[in-house]
Amino acid sequence: MAAGDRIFMAKESTSQEILSNTKKIIEDAKAKPKRYGMRINLLDSNPATRVKYLYDAVGMTPAGMNFAGGGFDYGDWGDIWFVKKNRPVMVRTDGTVDYELNHENHALKLNGGASDITKTSYGGNAMSEIPLIWVKRWTQNNYHFVVFCEEQYDDTYKAYAHTDADGNVLPVTYFPMYEGSVVNSRMRSLSGLTPTASMTDEQETTAAKQNGDRWGQIWPATTDYFWYSPIDGQRVILYFNPLYDNYPEGYDCSVKVLNIKEILTKPIEELTAENEEAFGNDPVDIFEGNMWISGGYLNIIFNQNMPSKMKHLVSLVKNTTITPVQDGYIHLEYRYNTYADTTGYWRNGAVSFNLKSLKITSETKGIKVKINSAKNGEKEVSFDLKETPSPVGLSQMDFSQMEIK
């Protein structure tokens, strides 16, 4: 600095303003996330001309059916994140991913072995896992505009498909891989089923909800059933209205308990040569899907041919008179004794068996239960120890006339 040069000192507020403006210029200079937009002419019915690409989508090859070669051609969209990161998965009814499917052959799991994509007994559905998409959309004059972005470009971009009921933005969402098909009043997304086409929106929503409401851990904040004294280990059907708020940490919602129905709850027993006759082995009438595992219990709903005098005996046993096949499964038998006392008067029956006495190791594949089916004879039903959905309409079933022990 030469002699006589002047030095100007700015006010602190002016310096802060200059610093703020400089930071803003630097921030604005940073690369913004890419946006893939399109303008749709609502008055043009020609698919070849009605869509114009905008922003970073300009110059991209469109996606579309390849009618000459067969199949779908993703064009340049195959490299965009929401297509590239899309995964075919089997999702359990509790909302968790069970496993990923082979992308080229959905009949197989990604890591090998047959998938459950055609099995209506499977406790879940085939879904497409779609990564987070931020969307801006609006209509102006005769044009509709849609813009996709991997990040929230600004406040006008919304995560419509990835925002849950509580306003939380989720990293992925799930969309059915197949058109909905109703099986036993439950909407399913599985291969090989006939799509349902004769239901109202309300009926479809009701059928979809039968896959599970996913209430999670509930807190009984209040009740109309104040005289009930819960017993540890006793299985019940709980009727409630959700209250949603004012629940302790560790719970997912609070509820008002309206009614409680106890279900016969029993342990696993040992069948020996001496007591086999007492357990009986009469044919049982159980519909597909009416055996499931939840909360460490095997639950069974069956049709009972009502007795005139003596309660029927239902049991889950480990048969010690035979050596089970060493296939990685725990082998059990469901036994039923009517004591030759039936009336031809049929009602619903239900029982839950506590599985906690079983020695489950990391090598245990699951459980196989042998039943003497009235329709199919002796057969084994396999379970992989995961939570599976309860039957549709369980809360509407009347178990008040059960005569079992």
Dump pLDDT digits (tens) for 113-146.
Answer: 999 999 988 888 999 999 999 999 999 999 999 9
Question: Is residue 332 located within the same domain as residue 204?
Answer: no
Phi and psi, residue 81, nearest 5°:
-55, -40
Quick one: 40 and 123 in the same domain?
A: yes
Are 117 and 224 contained in the same domain? no
The closest alpha carbon to 101, from 211, 194, 193, 191, belongs to: 191
Q: What does each C-alpha distance from 296 to 174, 267, 288, 366 come to in angstroms?
A: 27, 11, 20, 12
Residue with tokens 């007994």: 121
- Helix spans in 258-403 (H): 276-279
Is residue 310 domain-resident? yes
Instruction: Provide the pLDDT for residue 150.
Output: 94
Last residue of a domain, one of 175, 190, 209: 209
Verdict on whether the full-model pTM lies above 0.75: no
- pLDDT tens digits for range 239-274: 777 775 667 777 767 788 888 888 899 999 999 999
Q: Please tell me whether residues 182 and 42 are part of one structural domain.
A: yes
Three-class DSSP category at 388: coil
**15 SS3 class:** helix
How is residue 293 written in tokens? Answer: 């595992």
Same domain membership, residue 256 and residue 314: no
**pLDDT band at residue 195 using 50, 70 and 90 as cut-offs:** confident
Per-residue tokens: 216 = 């999670």
Are 188 and 196 in contact by the 8 Å Cβ rule? The answer is no
Identify whether 20 is part of a domain: no
Contact 145, 37 (CB under 8 A): yes
- Do residue 87 and residue 155 come from a single domain? yes
Tell me, what CATH number does 273's domain have? 2.60.40.2370
Which residue type sits at 106? H
Could you give the residue ranges of the DSSP H alpha helices within 350-400?
none
SS3 87: strand
Q: Tokens 């006793």 identify what position?
A: 234
Q: Is residue 18 part of a domain?
A: no
Whether 144 maps to a domain, the answer reads: yes
pLDDT digits (tens, 9 = 90+) for 52-93: 999 999 999 998 888 887 788 899 999 999 999 999 999 987
Q: Which domain, by its residues, includes 228?
A: 218-261
* Residue 168 and residue 202 in one domain: yes
**Residue from 145, 156, 148, 152 nearest 169 by CA:** 152
Nearest to 57 by CA among 158, 149, 160, 193: 149
Co-location of 182 and 44 in the same domain: yes
Quick one: 223 and 281 in the same domain?
A: no
Same domain (yes/no): 50, 111: yes
Query: Do 77 and 202 belong to one domain?
Result: yes
Give the pLDDT of residue 271. Answer: 93
- Give a yes or no: residue 7 inside a domain: no
- The Cα–Cα gap between 219 and 252 comes to 8
pLDDT at 395: 47
343 in the same domain as 272: yes
> Could you tell me if residue 22 is inside a domain?
no
340 closest CA partner among 365, 313, 315: 313
User: What total number of domains does the chain contain?
Assistant: 3
